[in-house]
Chains A and B, each alone.
Chain A
Amino acid sequence: MNSLQSQGFAPIVSHLKKDGSEWTVKEKLLLGLSPKEYWAVQLRNPFNWVLWVIYAVGLPILVGRFIYGLGWVTHSSYDYPWGLFLGWGLFTMVPLSASGFMMGTTVELFGRKDFKPLERLGLLNGLLGYLFAVMFLQVDLGQPWRLIYPMFVSLGPAAVLFLVAWHVATYLSCQVAELVPAFAEWMNFPKAKQFIKKIVLGLTVAGIILSTLHQGALGALFTYAPGKVHPLWYSSSFQWFQFFVSAVFAGLSMLIVVSTLSKWFMRWRCDETYLNNLSKLTLGLAKGASLALITYLVIRIIGIAHDNDWQYLATGWGAWFMFEMVVGVILPLIFYTMAVRNSNASLARFSAFLAVFGLALNRLNTALITFNWQLYQEIPHWREVVIVVTVYATYIVVYRAILARMPILYTWKENK
């Protein structure tokens, strides 16, 4: 599409065509191209070839999971009840999607209107991350059709997961509402947009509450397994806070990552305001992320001191812990700080990739790698890996499809 733009293609930015007539929904869906042109573009894109290969292998296996059961796609481990579906799909995707509540807070609550160009991307990143976390959950649950049981059929309100379930569900609705304006502009439903505008403050405050609690709750889930998670990754007092603070830098870093990717691969869709402000805003996000990183680093150290786990640092697990801390926390912290000082957006972007890696490593360490550290190491079944890749690929496809159409990276021009 970037090359198409250089040949004179102009993407849709308002309801009206150049000749003054309105775009139909079908035309909007096809990005203003003729069906033939549209599919030609899709076929030309090498990334789509990769996707087709993933789907060719992954879809049958995904379907097989629901026909033959979890035993067919996982090792059916009783010792490791949670595998990659939750380790990656829930525990990693949710913190990486914390951008939604943070951009909402920054722009709507603290009145930092200068972050407006990135607000919708942050919200969308949040919404899709949560949506696909639920998808991953649906793949993992033994009886996914009972997903609503904790809400309406049999309530276990004293459980941490009850809180996660309720909060993710309500927060998803919150995020859908927050993104209604983008959809309303694109579909030309001005009333919906005005309604959301009235309640946006309430939605944002709700978003902070729900996010604080469920991001923390994901950490608190592991406090049910005090002997199973390695002491260096476990803290009964601070686990929830560690998960919450790391979600802050992870959400901001993920936002830098997706904004960078969109700048590279979807430049045709970005408008001038977005592109011109991006470097400055990236540094703003970097500043926030570095503050969260230093808080996180300190609270991890306090966690170790509080439980007096120092002796574990000298073991092999200690070395692995140091790797996570240096590569996933300290280096991004240093690079972010340098980037902010020298106004070097490229360095901030590099640092963001590192921080996202660090977050993923931390969650996988907690949920899978150091889990049952006194027993043995579970290596996920290959079908489990294939399903994770397939669902994540779908996440990317949906993400890309929305970015290409709705006013996320560009500002909609209203009819005058």
Chain B
Amino acid sequence: MGGRKKTLMGMAALMLLTAPTGAQSWAADGPGTVELGSLANHYSAVTFDHAMHVGVATSCADCHHHTTGLAPTDPNCVRCHKAGAQAQSVSCKDCHSDKRFSPEDLEKTGGNPQLYHKGKLGLKGAYHQKCLGCHTTMGGPTGCQDCHARNDQGDAFFHSGKYAPAPKASGGHGGGH
């Protein structure tokens, strides 16, 4: 966790040095809200308040890495993407596959010796690591249902809600015995 703090501090320092003008154009370019529905089988879609998050973040690069043209905040990324190479799309789902670990995805990543970002997260992982990572340090909500309400199918999946098991007298049986 110490690493993350350092990253944030380094990021702040970088921001002061490199991008004072870019910062003013943040809110104007971004969408107001984004519907995130990749977990629709268990959860209702998340309405992501992009505008609000723009106000909280220190830089677009906090979430969008180098794709908006700003210098990335992770010192590791800066080694290559020094100035921030603007990408054709800044949308998460256009780079982070929602079919992560599917045979096709594995062929594309594992089978390509030229590829540097072999460990690039899938869409779901990218969302959650980014959201939860920041929410944890910034004190945002971290519970699953703080962001997306679980639907009936989800309740069944988790054996929760009306699908919750009847409480047992012998609960707390760990299984060693």
B5 within 8 Å of A by Cβ? no
- Complex Cα–Cα for A79 and B176 (A): 6
B162 within 8 A of A: no
- B175 located at the interface, meaning its Cβ lies under 8 Å from any Cβ of chain A in the complex: yes
- A126–chain B nearest beta-carbon distance, Å: 36
Query: Which residues on the A side are within 8 Å of B177 (C-beta)?
Result: 75-77
Residues in chain B near residue A79, CB distance under 8 A: 176
Interface residue SS majority, chain A: loop
Interface string of B142-177 (1 = CB under 8 A from A): 000000000000000000000000000000000111
Residues of B within 8 A of A77 (CB): 176-177
- Point out the residues of chain A lying under 8 angstroms from B175, CB to CB: 78
Q: Provide the B22-63 mask, 1 if CB < 8 A to any CB of A, else 0.
A: 000000000000000000000000000000000000000000
Complex Cα distance A78/B173, Å? Answer: 13
Query: In residues 46-84 of chain A, which contact B (Cβ within 8 Å)?
Result: 75-79
A75 vs B176: C-alpha distance in the bound complex, in angstroms?
A: 9
Count of chain B residues near A, Cβ 8 A = 3
> Measured between alpha carbons, how far is A78 from B175 in the docked complex, in Å?
7
Q: Mark A196-239, 1 if CB is under 8 A from B, else 0.
A: 00000000000000000000000000000000000000000000
Measured between C-beta atoms, what is the minimum distance from B64 to chain A in Å?
48
Q: How many whole Å from A60's CB to the nearest CB in chain B?
A: 23
A79 to B177, CA, bound (A): 8
Q: How far is the CB of B175 from chain A (nearest CB, A)?
A: 6
A78–B176 Cα distance when bound, in Å, is 6
Contact pattern, B 126-156, Cβ under 8 Å of A = 1, otherwise 0: 0000000000000000000000000000000
Q: Which residue of chain B has its CB nearest to the CB of A75?
A: B177
Interface string of A351-388 (1 = CB under 8 A from B): 00000000000000000000000001000000000000
Closest to A79 in B: B176
Query: With the chains together, A77 CA to B174 CA distance in Å?
Result: 11
Minimal Cβ-Cβ distance residue in B for A375: B176
> CA A327 – CA B176 in complex, angstroms?
33
Q: How far in angstroms is the closest Cβ of chain B from A373?
A: 15
Taking CB atoms, residues of chain A closer than 8 Å to B176 are 77-79, 376
Residues on B with C-beta less than 8 A from A376 are 176
Q: Which residues of B contact A78 (CB under 8 A)?
A: 175-176
Q: Residue on A with the closest CB to B177?
A: A75
In Å, the complex CA distance between A76 and B170 comes to 15
Alpha-carbon distance between A346 and B127 when the two chains are bound, in angstroms: 82
- Cα of A168 to Cα of B177 in the assembled complex, Å: 31
- Given the complex of chains A and B, what is the CA–CA distance between A78 and B177 in angstroms? 7
- Complex CA distance for A79 and B174, rounded to whole angstroms: 12
Considering the complex, give the chain A residue whose CB is closest to the CB of B175: A78
Output the nearest chain B residue to A76 by Cβ-Cβ distance: B177
For residue B170, give the distance in angstroms from its CB to the closest CB of chain A.
13
Cα separation A76 to B176 with both chains bound (whole Å): 8
Q: CA of A119 to CA of B177 in the docked complex: distance in angstroms?
A: 45
| Nearest neighbor of A77 in chain B, beta-carbon distance | B177
Interface 1/0s, chain A 77-111, versus B by CB < 8 A?
Answer: 11100000000000000000000000000000000
CB distance from A69 to the nearest CB of B (A): 15
**Measured between alpha carbons, how far is A308 from B175 in the docked complex, in Å?**
35
In the complex, A75→B175 CA distance in Å? 10
Please measure, in the bound complex, the distance between the C-alpha atom of A78 and the C-alpha atom of B174, giving whole angstroms: 11
A77 to B175, CA, bound (A): 8
Given contact pairs A77-B177, A78-B175, A376-B176, a sample of 5 additional A-B residue pairs in the complex whose CB atoms are under 8 Å apart: A75-B177, A76-B177, A77-B176, A78-B176, A79-B176
| Residues of B in contact with A (beta carbons under 8 Å apart) | 175-177
7 A/B residue pairs, CB under 8 Å, sorted by A: A75-B177, A76-B177, A77-B177, A78-B175, A78-B176, A79-B176, A376-B176
Q: 5 tightest CB-CB pairs across the interface, nearest first?
A: A75-B177, A79-B176, A77-B177, A78-B175, A76-B177
